[in-house]
Structure 1
Amino acid sequence: MRRFATVAAGQLVSIVGSSLTEFAVPLWIYITTGSLARFALFSVLALVPGMLVSPLAGALVDRYDRRRVMLAGDVGAFGTQLALGVLLWTGNLQIWHIYPLLVLLSVALTFQRLAYNSAVPQLVPKRFLGHANGVVQMVTGTAQLVVPLLAVGLMAVVGLEGILVLDVVSYVFAIGVLLFVRFPRTMAWKRRESLVAEMVEGWRFSWGNRGFRGMLFFFAVLNIFLSPLFLLISPLVLGFATLEDVGRISFAGGLGVFLGGLTMTVWGGPRRRRLRGVMLSTLVLSLFCLVTGLRQSLPLIAVGAFGMSFWLTMLNGVYATIIQVKVPQRFHGRVIALNTLIAWSTLPIGFGLVAPYGSALFEPLLTPGGPLAGTVGLVLGTGEGRGVGLMYVLFAVAIAVTALVAMRTRTLSRFDVDVPDALPDDLVGFQSIQRRHMRQESQPVAEAASLQR
C-alpha cells in the first residue's frame, strides 16, 4: 500500500494543477466569447480524441510496463500544457490555438489514466481494492475541493498565465514521483500476439460477456442524460449569479467528490452485490439532479451539486472495483479502454448537442409569458436559466427510469452471481508453468513405456 500511496500523492499534485487549468480555460473562453457552443466544444475535444485512441491505448497498456506508459502520458501532458503556456506568456495565444492542443492533451491523458487504473490491482491486494478506488476518487475530490477556492482568486491575482505555471510544475512533480517508484511484477507472461490480435481479444472478452455488455449499455444510456447536467452547472449559476458563486457551487461539488471518495476509502464498497450498489447510487443521484434544477437558489443548487458529485463518486468507485475484481489483470487495459469507449460514446451527444441546443430549446418555454410559464413555471420559476432548470428535472426522471429498468433486467440483476471473480494473473502464470513442467516430466516416461512395448 505504501507504493500505491506514493503514486496517488504524485497524481494528486498533477490533478490539482490540471484541474486549475480545466476550470480556468473554459471559463476564459465563455467570458471572452459569450458562446455556450464554444464552451461545450472545449468539453467535446477534451473527450473525443481520447475515446478514439483508447482501444490502441488499452492494448499498449496491457502489453508494456504500466509505469512507463504512465510516465509517457504525464510527459505528453506536460509538453502540451507547456506549449499552451508559452503561447500565452508570449502574448500569442488565440482561442483556436487551444483546440488542437486540447486534442493532444486528451490523447496523452487517456494513456496516463488507463495505465493508472490498470496499475491499481498491481499495487494493491484484492481485499483492499475497494478502499484503493476510494483513494483514487478522493484524490479527484481533493482537487475539485481545492480548485474552486483557488481558481477564482488566482485568476484575479496571477491570471491564466500563473495558473499554467502551476500546472506545468505539478506535472514535473508527478513525473519525478514515477521515476523513483517501482511497480511489482505480477503479470502472467509477456505478450506473443500482434497488437491487433490483442485488441480483438480484448473486444471478445468484454463484448462477448452478456453481463459486461448489459453494463456498457446501461452506462451509455445513463451518460446521455447525466453528462449535460454536470456541464451546465456553471451556466445555470451564471444565469442569475456571479463568477464567485460559480466557485462556491464548484466547491460544494468538490466536497461531494471528496467525501464520496473518503466514504469508499473507509468502507470499501459492497462486497457481494456490487452492480446493485451502482444502480442504487444512480437512483439517489437522480434525486439530487432533480433538486439542482428546482429553483434559482444558490443553497439549493449547492445541495444538488454536492449530492450529484457524492453519489457519482460512489458509483464510479464501485464500478472500478467490479472491473478490477471480475476481469483478469492481463486484460485490464483493454477492457477498461473498451468500456470507456462504449460508455462514453454518448458523452459527445450530451456535451455537444444536448447541452447547448437542449437549453436553447427549453429556455423559451419558461420565459415570462412562455408556453409553460403558467404551469411548470409556477414550480420552477420563469426567466433566464429556468429552461436549463427544466432540463435538470426531466433528465433526473430519465436517469431514475434508466436505473429502475436496469434493476429489473435479468442480465444485470444477476451480474454479481453469474460473472465469477477472476484468478490473479501471477497464479495463472504459475499454473501454466506447472502444467508445462508436468508435460515435460511425463514425456520421457511415456517414451520409455513405448520402447518397452
Structure 2
Amino acid sequence: MRTFGTVWLGQFISTLGSSLTTFALGAYVYQTSGSVTGFALVSFFGLLPTVLLSPLAGVLADRWDRRKLMLLGDMGAALGIFLIWALFAGEKAGLWTIKIWYFYGPLLIGSSFSTMCFPAWTATVPLLVPRKHLGRASGMAELSAAISQIAGPIIATALLGFIGLQGILLVDAISYFFAIAALFIVRFPTPPRDAARAGRRSLRADIVEGWHFIRERRGLIGLMAFVTITGFIVSMVMLLINPLVLAFTDIDHLKWIATSAGVGMLTGGVVTSIWGGPQRRILGIAALSTMSGFILLLAALPPSVPLIAVSAAVFVFTFPLTSACNQFIWQTKVPPELQGRVAALRRVVFQAMALSVSLVGGVLADKVFEPLMAHDGALAGSVGRVIGTGQGRGVALMFLILSVLVLVNVAVMLMSPRTRNVESELPDALPAHPRIPTVPTPAPADVAAAPRLATGSSES
C-alpha cells in the first residue's frame, strides 16, 4: 500500500494543478471570445486524444514498464502546459496576438501524453493493493477528483488576482513534478509477459486480444454497455445543468450549486475510501443508479436553487461509489497482463460518449427541446401543463427523458443473467496477495520488440 499511497499523492497534486488550469483557461477563453462554441472546442481538443490514443496506450501499458510509461505521460502533459504558458509569454512580448485556436495544438500534445497514464496506473493498482482494499483504492481516486473539483475553482480565483493566468499555468506545470518525483522513488511490480510472443505480434493484434477477452464474457459486455449508456447520460446532465439553472437564476447561485455538487462528490469519495462498497458490487451499481435516476425527475418540479443544489449533491454522491464498484469487478476479473488494454478499451467507449455529447447536446437543447417547450411550442399544451413552459423547460424535459433512460438501463442490466451474476460466474484473475515491486529487467528481445511512439500520429 505504501507504493500506491506515494503515487496517489503525486497524481493528486498534479490533478489539483490541472483543475486550476481548466478553470482559469476556460474562463479566459469564454471571456475573451464570448463564444460557447470556442469554449466547447477547447474541451473537445483536450478530450479527443483520449478517444483516439487510448487503445495504443493500453497496449503499451501491457508491453512496457508501466512506471516509465506514466513518467513519460506526466512529462509530456507538463510540456503541453508549458507550451500554453509560452503562448502568453509571446503575446506579452509582442510577438503575436493569441487566438483561441492557438490552444488546440498544446492541448492535443498534453492530452496525448496524459492518456498514457490512465491504463498504466489502472492496470497496476490491482498488483499493489490487496483485493479487499481495491474498493477503498478506487474511493481514494474519486476523492482526489472531488477535492480538485471543489478546491480548483476557489484556488484559481484567488490566484488569478495575484499571479494571473501565466502564474497558474506555471503552478500546474510544477505540480506535475510532484507526480514525476513520486514515480522516480517507487518501483512497480511486473505482470507476467511472454516477451517472444509479444515481439511477434502487432499492436493491432494486442488490441484485438483485449477486445476478444471482453467479447467472450457476456457479463462483462453487459456491464460495459451499461456503463457506456450511463456515461452518455452523466455527460448530458453535466452539460445541461448550467442552462437549466441559468434559465431562472444568476451565476452566483450557479456557483453555490456547483459547490454543493462538489461537496456531494467529496462525501461520496470519503464514504467509498472508508467503506469500499457493498459485497455484491453489481447490486450496488444498480441501487445507486436507480437513486440517481429518480433524482433527475426533480427537474420537473418548479425551479428552485435549494432543490437543485441538494439534488446535484445527491446525484454526484453516487459517482465515487458506482465507479468503485465497477472498477472492482473489472480489476478482479481481468488478468494482470491484460489490464492495460482492457482498461483502455473501456475508457475509449466511455469517453466517446462524452465527446458525442459535447457535439450534439447543445444542438438538441437549442434546436429541438427548447422550441418544443416554448410558450407557443408544440408540447406547450400537453407536457407544458405539467412541467411548465418557457426558457429552461426544454432542458427540464431532457432531464426527464434522461431519468427514464437511467431506470430502463438498470432494468435491462438486472434482467440479463450474465451481467447480474458476473461476479459469481467469472473466476477471479487476481493473485492472492499484491506482488512485491521489483526493478524490472526485461530481456533484450523484449526491449527490441517494444513499439515506439510515433510523434504526431493519432493512429492507434
TM-score, normalised with respect to structure 1: 0.87
| 1:114 aligns with one of 116, 119, 133 | 119
Map of 2:410 onto structure 1: 403
Q: Is the 8 A contact 1:366 1:382 kept in 2?
A: yes
- Whether 1:191 and 2:192 are equivalent positions in the alignment is no
**Offset at residue 308 of structure 1 (A):** 2.0
Distance, in Å, in 2 between the alignment partners of 1:294 and 1:31 is 32
Q: Is the 8 A contact 1:148 1:251 kept in 2?
A: no
Map of 2:258 onto structure 1: 250
Distance, in Å, in 2 between the alignment partners of 1:12 and 1:331 is 26
Distance, in Å, in 1 between the alignment partners of 2:156 and 2:294 is 29
Consecutive unaligned residues of structure 1, counting only runs of 5 or more, are 429-453
Map of 1:268 onto structure 2: 276
Distance, in Å, in 1 between the alignment partners of 2:400 and 2:18 is 31
Task: Please identify which structure carries the higher helix content.
Answer: 1
Q: What do the CA deviations read for 1:253-300 (whole angstroms, capped 9, x no partner)? A: 2212211111111111123x2122212221111222333564432222
- Whether 1:354 and 2:361 are equivalent positions in the alignment is yes
Distance, in Å, in 2 between the alignment partners of 1:95 and 1:238 is 25
**Offset at residue 378 of structure 1 (A):** 5.0
| 1:391 aligns with one of 398, 417, 442 | 398
**Offset at residue 158 of structure 1 (A):** 4.2
Map of 1:142 onto structure 2: 147
Distance, in Å, in 1 between the alignment partners of 2:177 and 2:40 is 29
| 1:178 aligns with one of 178, 183, 189 | 183
Map of 2:349 onto structure 1: 342
Map of 1:259 onto structure 2: 267
Alignment of 1:114-133 (within 5 A): 114-133=119-138
Q: Is the 8 A contact 1:252 1:306 kept in 2?
A: yes
Secondary structure of 1:421 counterpart = coil
- Whether 1:220 and 2:244 are equivalent positions in the alignment is no
Bigger drift between 125-134 and 243-252 goes to 243-252
Q: What do the CA deviations read for 1:379-430 (whole angstroms, capped 9, x no partner)? A: 54444333222212221121111111211122212212211211429999xx
Instruction: Quickly say closer, same or farther: Cα 1:227–1:115, change in 2 above 3 A.
Output: same
Distance, in Å, in 1 between the alignment partners of 2:32 and 2:247 is 16
Paired residue type of 1:57: A
Q: What do the CA deviations read for 1:187-208 (whole angstroms, capped 9, x no partner)? A: 2245332342322221211222
Instruction: Quickly say closer, same or farther: Cα 1:151–1:381, change in 2 above 3 A.
Output: farther
Paired residue type of 2:329: I
Alignment of 1:41-190 (within 5 A): 41-91=41-91, 92-155=97-160, 158-183=163-188, 185-189=189-193
Distance, in Å, in 1 between the alignment partners of 2:371 and 2:28 is 27
Q: Is the 8 A contact 1:3 1:181 kept in 2?
A: yes
Paired residue type of 2:25: V
Q: What do the CA deviations read for 1:64-101 (whole angstroms, capped 9, x no partner)? A: 11111111111111000110111123324320012222
Bigger drift between 354-363 and 107-116 goes to 354-363
Map of 2:40 onto structure 1: 40
Paired residue type of 1:146: A
Distance, in Å, in 1 between the alignment partners of 2:83 and 2:104 is 12
Instruction: Quickly say closer, same or farther: Cα 1:290–1:99, change in 2 above 3 A.
Output: farther
Paired residue type of 2:400: V
Map of 2:16 onto structure 1: 16
Instruction: Quickly say closer, same or farther: Cα 1:9–1:236, change in 2 above 3 A.
Output: same
Map of 1:26 onto structure 2: 26
Map of 2:442 onto structure 1: none
Distance, in Å, in 2 between the alignment partners of 1:374 and 1:159 is 51
Distance, in Å, in 1 between the alignment partners of 2:356 and 2:220 is 23
Alignment of 1:219-368 (within 5 A): 219-271=227-279, 273-292=280-299, 294-368=301-375
Map of 2:210 onto structure 1: 202
**Offset at residue 251 of structure 1 (A):** 1.8
Distance, in Å, in 1 between the alignment partners of 2:27 and 2:254 is 10
Map of 1:437 onto structure 2: none
Distance, in Å, in 2 between the alignment partners of 1:370 and 1:119 is 54
Q: Give the count of matched residue pairs.
A: 426
Q: Percent identity?
A: 37
Q: Is the 8 A contact 2:65 2:190 kept in 1?
A: no
Q: Is the 8 A contact 1:328 1:424 kept in 2?
A: no
Instruction: Quickly say closer, same or farther: Cα 1:8–1:162, change in 2 above 3 A.
Output: same
Q: Is the 8 A contact 1:255 1:306 kept in 2?
A: yes
Instruction: Quickly say closer, same or farther: Cα 1:28–1:239, change in 2 above 3 A.
Output: farther
Paired residue type of 2:184: L
Distance, in Å, in 2 between the alignment partners of 1:108 and 1:293 is 42
Q: Is the 8 A contact 2:67 2:183 kept in 1?
A: yes
Q: Is the 8 A contact 1:46 1:102 kept in 2?
A: yes
Paired residue type of 2:20: L
Q: Is the 8 A contact 2:61 2:69 kept in 1?
A: yes
Map of 1:444 onto structure 2: none
| RMSD, matched Cα | 2.4
Paired residue type of 1:338: L
Q: Which has the higher contact order (CA 8 A, sep 6+)?
A: 2
Distance, in Å, in 2 between the alignment partners of 1:375 and 1:155 is 48
TM-score, normalised with respect to structure 2: 0.85
Q: What do the CA deviations read for 1:131-170 (whole angstroms, capped 9, x no partner)? A: 1111111111111121233334444554433322221121
**Offset at residue 324 of structure 1 (A):** 0.9
Instruction: Quickly say closer, same or farther: Cα 1:281–1:191, change in 2 above 3 A.
Output: farther
Q: Is the 8 A contact 1:50 1:107 kept in 2?
A: yes
